[in-house]
Structures are given as C-alpha cells and as structure tokens.
Chains A and B, each alone.
Chain A
Amino acid sequence: MTTDKNRLGMLCFIATETIFFGMLILAYIYFQNNAPNSGPNARNSLNVGLTAFFSLFLFASSGTIWLAERSLHRGNQRGVSLWLVATVVLGLIFLGGQGYEYAKLIGENITVSRNTFGTTFFTLTGFHGLHVFIGLLAIGILAGWVISGNLKGHKSSALGTISLYWHFVDIVWVLLFTIIYLLALL
C-alpha cells in the first residue's frame, strides 16, 4: 500500500496541509480565548443549525467518493461516474451553504476587517472552502476521465489518491465545525 508513490505523495501533502490548518486553528483559538467581550463573535453571530445542515452534505460526499472507489474495484464504470458526479453535487451544495452564510454575515457588517473573530473566522473557513473547491475541480476531472473512458491503467490510482485528499478536507471540516460552531454553543 505504501509503495504506491502517488498515495505516499498525497500523504506527505496532507501532512503539510495539516500543519498549515493547525496554525490557522491555533490563531483562531488564541483569539477566541483573548477576545474582547463586545462585538460579534462565534456565539452571537453564527447560525449553528443551518451550517450543521449544510455540513451533512459534505460528510455525505465522503461516503459517495468511497462508493465510487468501490465501484472502480468492481469494474463498474457507470457506478464510478455516478458516484463521482454525486460527490461533486454534494460538495457544491456545501459551498453554496457557505456562500449563503458569508453573504448573511457580510450583510450584518461582520467582515475580515471587523475584529479578530471576523479575521480568523473568514480565514479559517475560507481556506477550507478553497480546499473544497480545489477538490471539486480534481473530482470533476476524474469524472470527466471516467465518462470519456480515460480512467484506466496506472491512471486509475488517481481516484484513490484524490479520495484520500477529499477525506482529509472532510476531517478538517469536522474539526472546524467542532471548534468554531459546537464549542460556541457551550
């Protein structure tokens, strides 16, 4: 398993990303604990329920990409393309939810430059959203390969590699959702 160089390369990449997100999360937690009492913060500005609802789509997409991998192993090309497209749709719904959330916050004049909560919140969730978007591009390309019949031979290991990345993006969201939204409920 580890001698697959694409997989190993992706694991190394995920390691760097973990540290990168770790630093952003540290900054968020640091400023949460040292935040002024007034002004917008996670407790009084975020709609936890709505974000939880949109998060379900992202969590579900981890399942659909797993189903796509399983279809590939079983040689079911139609299944692969179906589950990949489903993954893209679920990811897009999540991004749509994030866009709605951003629009609402910005409408209430909660922006990057409002205070440390605004700065860290938009940086953290923005970088996660960017990663989702890049993942969707990659999965979209994979889906295109499957539909045009190009996902074969040594290229087929790309699906396993991309799905590793996708699971990572998902796990990051589990962490972010817990730290930003759930802890704010306490």
Chain B
Amino acid sequence: MSQEFVLVPEPTDALPIGKTGSLLYWIASVDHKLLGIMYIGAALIFFVIGGVEALVMRLQLGSARNTLLSPEAYNQLFTLHGTTMIFLVFVPMVVGFGVYLVPLQIGARDMAFPRLNALGFWMLVFGGLLLYYSIIAGSPPDSGWFAHAPLTAKQYSSAQGVDYWAIGLLLTGIGTTTAGLNFIVTILTMRAKGMRLLQVPMFTWIMLVDGFLIIGTLPPLNAALVMLLIDRNLGGAFFNPQAGGSSILYQHLFWVFGHPEVYLLVLPTFGIISEVLPVFSRKPLFGFNFIAGSALAIAFLSYAAYAHHMFAVGLGNAFNAFFAMSTALIAIPTGVKIFNWIATIWGGKIRFTTSMLFAVSFIVLFTIGGISGVTFGIVPTDWQTTDSYYLVAHFHYVLYGGSFFAVMSGLYYWFPKVTGRMLSEKWGKWVFWLMFAGFNLTFFIQHILGLMGMPRRVYSYDDLPNWSLFNLISTLGSFLLAFSVLLFIISVVLALVKGEKAPDNPWDAWTLEWATTSPPPIENFEQVPPIRGRRPLWDLQHPDDQDWQRSHSGEKIGGQPHEASLPSEHRKDNSQ
C-alpha cells in the first residue's frame, strides 16, 4: 500500500520569535510548545507554594490545641491553599498539557489562535500574582476557596482580601476561557489531512470535550464574581439578605461552576491515562468509543449534579432527591472508564515504568475517591459528613490521588518529548513509592477523622481520644509527600542538566507527537505519516498489519482470523 506522507500546512501569519533562550524569547512567545512549558512550569511553582501552605496547616494540626497559627492566619492559609491548587495549579497544568500536546497529536503547527493562547497564559499568571499580592497588601482572603456569601459581604469581610481573590479569579477565569475556545477551534479545524474527528488520540478528544466544558463552566463563576465585586464595592444587593438579596443565589452560581470545574480538571487526566496505559501495556485502548462517549456523558451530567454541594442548605426534599439521583448517575460513565482502563491493561505486556506506576495507582486512588464521592450523593450521609475531614479526604483522593497522580504519569511520559532528556527511572521509582506512601498516609486516615466528627476549616481541636495521634500520622505523611515532591524536582533538574538524551520515540508509542524529534522543532512537522486509524505510527511500522483493517474484535476484515500468527501485542485486542 502507499505510505504517502501528509504535508502540514504552514501558518498564515508570521509569528514573533526572539533569540532562542533569551527572556524575550519566552515572554513574547506565541509558540504552543513554549506556552505549554510555561503553563506547566507556572503550575509547578504554584504547586510548591500551595504545598508549603498545606504543610504549615498540617504542622498546626499536628497536635491538639497547637498555637503555631492564629485562627485568622489558618483561615487565610486554607483559602490560599484551596484557591491556588484549583485555579493556579490544576487549571494551568491540564491546560498546559493540552496546549503542548493537542497540536502535536493532530499534526498541526500551532494552536488555531497563537496570540490568544499567549494572552490566556499571561492573564492566568497575572491573576495568580494579584491573588498573592493580597499578602503584601496586608489582607489575604480568608473565606475559603468557594467564598460563600454572606461571609464575603463587606460587613463580615471588610479587608480587601476578597476583592483580590475575586479580581484574580476573574482574570484567570477569562484566560482559561480563551484556552477552552482555542482547544475547540484547533481540534475542529486544524487536524492533519485525513484525520477524522473520531480518529484523534483520546487525550485530544478529551481536550475537545474539555474545551466545551471550559467555555460552559467559567461564565457562571465570572458572573458570580462580578456580582460579588459589585456588592462589595458599589453597595449592590445581590447576595445581601438584609437588602433583599439572596446568599443562596451565590451558592447556585458558584456550584453550577464548581462542580463541572472538578470534571474540567479531572477529564484531561483521564485523557493522560488513556494515552499512557495502552503504550505501556502494548495494546490499543480498550473501547475507545465508550471512553469517548462517557467523557461526553460526564460533561453533561456534571451540570446536572452541581447542587449536591448544597444538600446542607435545606432546599427541600424534591430538590435534594433530584441531585442525589444525578450524582449517582454520574458514577456510571466514570465507572465505564475504569473498566475500560482495566481491560486495556488486561493481558497486555506490561512495562512498569514510573509513568505506568503512576497511571495504575491513579485507577486505584481515583476509585477510592469516586466511591467516597458517591456516599456524598446520599443526602442523609451527606448531612453527617459534609464539612468534615471525610470530605477533605474525599476530594484529595479525587484531585491529588486521582488527578495529580495522572499528571505525574503524564509528566514522566512526555518529559522526553518536551525536553529531549530522559527522567531517571531509578529516581522515578523512589518518587513514586514515596509519593504513594506519603499520600495515603496523609489522607486515608482523614476519612476516619472525619467520621469521628472532626470538622474541616477549624484551626485547632480538643485532645479527644486518638485525634492527636491520627492527626500526627496525617502530618507526618504530608511531610513524606513533600519530600517525594522535592525528590521529583531534583530529578527534573538533574535530567535537564545531565540527563540521558531521549530518542524520538522512547516508549515506542503510536500517536503523532512521537513522529517528530525530541524536542520538536519550532514548526513541529514538515509532514506527518498517513493517517488511516488511531495509531498512525503503528500503521507506519506494520505495513502488513494495519489498525484500520481490523474489526472491533481485532480480526482482520475480510481475512481469516489467524490469531496465532499475530504479534503477541495484538492478541486479545478488542478495541479496533
């Protein structure tokens, strides 16, 4: 058959580019690869800041009636920690992965709107700086990352912290919205010739869904923030019950953003997992269409489930019943994905690289977080456990044990492509096991603390039986976790300084980003291999065994099944 390569169209605009490596080269850059690296770099810097805030809180909670922190400082710390981790770590992290990888995976030279891409990044950075400027201004925000009204009203939070918080989030929110828009347009219009929409790699497909989720999710937050700012600075009455306003309205607006936001952060990590697991199991992704469809289902249902954050408000039984049901419902498409990933690994030739270890542990930890999440959908249980450490444990299992482990998996997987250097596998194993141990030590016991009645967001506690011990275990775990992050950062620096040079396709992967050099040249590709299926590099290497010539059960279309003669990687291949 013909193996004609597809030319990649050149951009229509000349894009500014400074001298390689200079400061201007980075600041003025509109190249998606540099912006992707900057997104991820910014996320890692904020991750360290947010992590230190968490460590200080854990120090305070390490023993009963500790006096390290004042209650005010503790409130400021958990607000900054939550806001930082959600908006300045996870958002730029997943957007960064998307910005870097999507054009490479679809065989394009850049995003659809390179300048908008840069604008979005810098708005996010300045939003983050504004949030942290509140410390210099003397009044960090202290009303929690969701800042429920009327606590944020001028009469209860008279300092400027909430204003910095709101304006900072407004900036990052608008920046993120432009990124979402950019993903949609890029994936819909810039795919290499021959690549159909359902032939894009799973990560790219999920970034498309995520793009829609982003542009649908951020506007309610922006509306809520604008109203909050009007209330605080112009004397508006939106959320002020004394003036006829409604503080419940804020909760609705915030959580109709807040819940889809969680999926907005989690979905791209599903995409990362869906790239890593097949490559290290030497099998195609099991049930591509099911994973693709369930991503859509999750995106839709996430809006329908938002008010399970509001069961404790007392909105009535019919209201609660609806959102209890939708919460249970969203577990189904998520479960579909878990089974697909397990089936992908099943019977594969598994290579336990660091990336794979993180990916597999993601499945386990995310499932734990998912199961505790379903318990919150049961209204009476929710009333007992909401705002307790059980909740804290739940969302850390989802966002840290789930999403962040997937992010680590992605970092190990794509690091050679991005930097041209290999990360040390020996260090990687240490990073993984220490992080795994540290994470579970920190957060698993918080389930029990929560069920014992320990409330979240309280700076101290009485010396009740076992409370000090369990909290101390959690604190020790958090320092182990921090140590593993430190090891990771050192191993990254070591790899950049004297790491082994990475080949173009070190993991023998099949998607287009591995068809170019490591790191890719500024234009990404002159040409890409012909695209007839979801694994163009597999097809390129196996002219006699093309993906697209196989049915869904892995048998050759039109030919006799001859499984015995197939390469072992292809046996039990059910997805293509």
Check A112 against B215 for contact (C-beta < 8 Å). no
Interface residues of B in 208-225 (CB under 8 A from A): 211, 215-216, 218-220, 222-224
Assess the B249–A27 pair: CB atoms within 8 A.
Answer: yes
Q: Does B243 count as interface, using CB distance less than 8 angstroms?
A: yes
Decide: A27 and B238 in contact? CB cutoff 8 A: yes
A1-24 residues at the B interface, CB under 8 angstroms:
2-3, 5, 8-9, 12-13, 15-17, 19-20, 22-24
| B contact residues, range | 35 or more
Contacts of B237 in A (CB 8 A): 113, 115-116, 118-119
Contact status B235-A5, CB under 8 Å: no
> Given A12-B181, A12-B215, A16-B215 in contact, is the A123-B227 Cβ separation under 8 Å?
yes
Among A2, A22, A112, residue most surrounded by chain B Cβ atoms (within 10 Å):
A112
Q: Which residues on A sit within 8 Å (CB–CB) of B246?
A: 30-31, 34
The answer to the question of B298 belonging to the interface, with a C-beta cut-off of 8 Å to chain A, is no
The answer on a CB contact under 8 Å between B177 and A8 is no
Q: Is the interface of A mostly helix, strand, loop or mixed?
A: helix
Given contacts A20-B222, A23-B223, A27-B249, contact A15 B244 (CB under 8 A): no
Cβ distance A138 to chain B, nearest Cβ, rounded Å: 15
Query: Across the interface, do B12 and A9 meet the contact criterion of CB distance under 8 Å?
Result: no
Residues in B with CB closer than 8 Å to A9 are 112-113, 116, 181-182, 185
Given A8-B189, A12-B184, A30-B246: A119 and B220 interface contact (C-beta under 8 Å):
no
Is A99 an interface residue when CB atoms closer than 8 A count as contact? no
**Residue of chain B at shortest CB distance from A13:** B181
Residues in B231-275 with C-beta less than 8 Å from chain A:
231, 234-238, 243-246, 249, 253
Does B184 lie within 8 Å of A19, measured CB to CB? no
Bound form: Cα–Cα A94–B335 in Å:
54
Q: Give every chain B residue within 8 A of A115 (Cβ-Cβ).
A: 237, 243-244
CB-defined contacts of B224 to chain A, threshold 8 Å: 23
- Contacting pair A8 B218 (CB below 8 A): no
Which residues of chain B are within 8 angstroms of A17 by Cβ–Cβ distance? Answer: 219
Contact with B along A168-182 (1 / 0, CB 8 A): 000000000000000
Tell me, rounded to whole Å, the shortest Cβ–Cβ distance linking A72 to chain B: 19
Q: Mark A98-123, 1 if CB is under 8 A from B, else 0.
A: 00000000000001110110111001
Task: Pick the most buried of B12, B190, B215: most chain A CB atoms within 10 A of its CB.
Answer: B215
Chain B, residue nearest A23 (CB): B223
Determine the chain B residues whose CB is within 8 A of the CB of A113 once the complex forms.
Answer: 234-237
Contact A23–B238 (Cβ < 8 Å): no
**Max chain A C-beta neighbours (<10 A), residue from B211, B244, B253:** B244
B-contacting residues, A119-159, CB 8 Å: 119-120, 123, 127, 154
Residues A112 and B220 in contact in the complex (CB < 8 Å), given A5-B185, A8-B184, A9-B181: no
Closest 3 pairs between A and B when the two form their complex, measured CB to CB: A113-B235, A23-B223, A19-B219
Q: Could you list 14 examples of A-B contacts with CB < 8 Å?
A: A5-B189, A5-B190, A8-B184, A8-B188, A8-B189, A9-B112, A9-B116, A12-B181, A12-B211, A13-B181, A23-B224, A31-B245, A119-B231, A154-B12
